[in-house]
Amino acid sequence: MRIFCKILKVTGFVLLAVVMGLSLLIAFAAAFFSVADGVVDLTARTLPSYARESISETLAKAEWTEEDYDFLYRQTGLGRSALDEMKGDPARILTFQDALFYDGELEHQQVAFTTRRDVFADSYRAPMVDLQDGDVLVTSTCHTFGWRNGHAAIVVDGKGGNTLESVSLGTPSVVSYGGYNWFRSGTNFMVLRLKDATAEERAAIAATAEERLHGVDYSITVGILSPKDQGETPKETHCSHLVWQAFRYYGYDIDSDGGAVCTTRDIANCDLFEVVQVFGFDPIELW
């Protein structure tokens, strides 16, 4: 009987130790995630470091100088090609200035088991330029355990705003109809366009991407445990890799640091792209 009581006593101590250990682990995890969220909140959205100025006089000019384009870019987040497309529609350009300087309250949205996303508490959606086939959308709003991994997609139908993207584990890459709206609802995004390429070439890149990279399994280890260049019949991909692979088919390496893994940030910093629109990033520093 005494032996049995000792066993129960020891078992009780063990169970108590396990419970206390789990409690400490849960408390530590909660504290870690709280700190991680606080850290990423600092970079959820970057407002311009300079004051908003009136752009009406510049918009009214018949012709814009290089200085005018630079001034308007800093005030609206619109690149030269976007400004040229909107010339003659000052009211629309002003909505982009409103967006660039918009300072709304932020909140987190759970988008996957380990991933959260930054959105505006009032469901604000920024205006976006007219997209073209082959444009690239990037955002840093997605974060996992304090790391801003972001998200990227390639536009396969500019008129419909449809995007081809690789979203998460267990989900093959898919065409998201009206997918551009997902980017608009976040706290930041960029619209990038391949420099010195015709609309036909960019459309061909998008078409090939949809043909070869649709329905491919998601893998975060591509480039590490499997080849970065997956060839014409890719077996695995992830969001930024899908975009990289799409341009790789046409001889473009859009991985700005040339590493084994192409991240969303690598794409955002690639000199092969022009910035068509920036929202929620510093127009000068970008990402």
Q: What is the pLDDT of residues 86-105, one digit of tens each?
A: 999 999 999 999 999 999 99
Q: What pTM was computed for the model?
A: 0.87
125 pLDDT above the threshold of 90: yes
28 pLDDT above the threshold of 50: no
Q: Measured between alpha carbons, how far is 258 from 266 in angstroms, rounded to an integer?
A: 9
For residue 106, what pLDDT is reported? 94
259 pLDDT above the threshold of 50: yes
Domain boundaries of the chain, sorted by first residue: 56-279
Instruction: State the first-to-last Cα distance of the chain, in angstroms, to the nearest integer.
Output: 70
248 pLDDT above the threshold of 90: yes
* Mean per-residue pLDDT of the chain: 91
Q: How confident is the model at residue 27 (pLDDT cuts 50, 70, 90)?
A: very low
Q: pLDDT tens digits for 203-224? A: 999 999 999 999 999 999 999 9
Best CA proximity match to 55, nearest among 85, 95, 23, 25: 95
For residue 99, what pLDDT is reported? 99
Least confident of 99-113, 173-187, 257-271: 99-113
Best CA proximity match to 58, nearest among 74, 44, 38, 41: 74
Class of domain 56-279 (CATH, top level): alpha beta
18 pLDDT above the threshold of 60: no
